[in-house]
Amino acid sequence: MGLHRTYRKRADRQEANETRDRNRVFKDKERLRKDAKMVKELQAKTLPYSPTVMSWLSRKLEKPSRKITPADVKTLLT
C-alpha cells in the first residue's frame, strides 16, 4: 500500500504541474486584461476609488489601501 501511495502522489504532482502550465496562458491573458481595465478606471476617476480598484492598487503598490495617496497612483500610471 505504501508503494502505491508513493506512485499516486507522484502522478498527482505531475498532473497538477501540467494543469498549472495549461492554465497559466489563460491567467496571464486575464491579468493583462484586468490591468488595462483598472488603469482605464484610474485615469477616469480620482480618489476615493471603488473597493475593487483599491484592492488592485494595494496589490500593485504593495501598500495597505488606506495609505495610498494620489501621488502613488500617479507614479503607477506613469
Q: What is the pLDDT of residues 20-74, one digit of tens each?
A: 999 999 999 999 999 999 999 999 988 889 999 999 999 999 999 999 999 999 9
Q: Which long-range contacts (CB under 8 A, 24 or more apart) does 72-77 make?
A: 73/42, 73/47, 76/42, 77/39, 77/42, 77/43
Q: pLDDT category, 2, cuts 50, 70, 90?
A: confident
Distance, in Å, from the CA atom of 45 to the CA atom of 14, rounded to the nearest integer, reads 46
pLDDT computed for residue 1 by the predictor: 57
- CA–CA dist 72, 75 (Å, integer): 5
pLDDT at 78: 84
Say if pTM beats, i.e. exceeds, 0.85.
Answer: no
Mean pLDDT, rounded, for 2-19: 92
